[in-house]
Amino acid sequence: MDVSIRMVGLASTFFWILLVAFFASAAYSVKDLRLNFEKPQLRLTQEGYAVLSIPINIENGGFYNLGEFNLTTKVADLNGTKITEGSTLIPLIKKGAKIVAFHNLTFSVDVLLEKGSHYLFNDSSFAVAALISVKLAEVIPVQVSSNFSVAWGAPFYNFHLGRPTFEPLNFTHLRIAVPISFENHAPIDVNGEISLYMYNSEGKLVGQGESAIVAPQGALYTSSIVFYVQMLEITEEGFFEVYLSTPFLSYGPLVFPYG
């Protein structure tokens, strides 16, 4: 009987030694796990969506497989309001494996417009909160968190209406030219149309015009909208309304006083 008890005790001790050794070796092998986030890429689609793509390089140089690698991220604006969230799951990363994965988040540009015009006309950034979870040796759960930011380039950075010029066309009408300029800092070419409406001090529409937008990524756009108005309807003061239309967004009116 004593022999049996001693055998059970030895077996139990041996089991715990193996278990501790296993956990220790699994934890130690973390030093050979290399996880790198490459520079996040932000792009706009012609369908009106922003896609944030985060490349992940994973090299499992440890002693064991890794199970249920999961990356969950939340993207927020500068005020901390959530814009979107998502997760990427890799069920198994075998020991010795090298993997490149892409964690993609998609959200509508309309979500940004709901928060005002800030992201249209100002370079800014998004805050990203990331949570990584993985099972070492497919058994031991581990979590780690990180925070970083992603730059945003405004499609209509420094949008500006210049001083309008007035030239007589004949005895009853004037030719008006309104200069327009902006810089395209967005990660996509901006093509579309700008519509401009001119109102006098009484709020009456006196003229309107349009101009095509062709602004390659990183380019300065300059143009003038030309239209004709009746002299008797012009007042010394008034205002312009501007509407922007592209395949991925429509916005307006922007109001600019004159006089």
Give me the pLDDT at residue 109, please: 79
The answer to the question of residue 12 being in a domain is no
Give me the pLDDT at residue 31, please: 57
**Beta bridge partner(s), residue 103:** 54
92: helix, strand or coil: strand
In the block, which residue shows the tokens 């800014």?
A: 124
Q: How many domains does the chain have?
A: 2
**Beta bridge partner(s), residue 242:** 196, 254
Give me the pLDDT at residue 17, please: 42
Domain span including residue 245 = 157-258
Give me the pLDDT at residue 194, please: 96
Q: Say if CB 177 and CB 225 are below 8 A apart.
A: yes
pTM: 0.76
Domain boundary among the residues 106, 130, 152 is at 152
Round to whole Å and give the CA distance between 17 and 147.
38
Give me the pLDDT at residue 32, please: 65
Quickly list H helices, 99-189.
109-113, 118-121
Give me the pLDDT at residue 118, please: 86
Query: Is 115 found in the same domain as 78?
Result: yes
Query: Is 136 found in the same domain as 180?
Result: no
Round to whole Å and give the CA distance between 225 and 61.
62
Query: Is 195 found in the same domain as 140?
Result: no
| 16 contacts: CB under 8 Å, gap ≥ 6 | none
243: helix, strand or coil: strand
Low-confidence ranges of the chain (pLDDT < 70): 1-33, 115-116
Instruction: Answer left, alpha or beta for residue 239, where phi above 0 means left and psi between -120 and 50 means alpha.
Output: beta
Give me the pLDDT at residue 7, please: 44
Which pair of tokens denotes residue 217?
């990524």
The answer to the question of residue 40 being in a domain is yes
The answer to the question of residue 122 being in a domain is yes
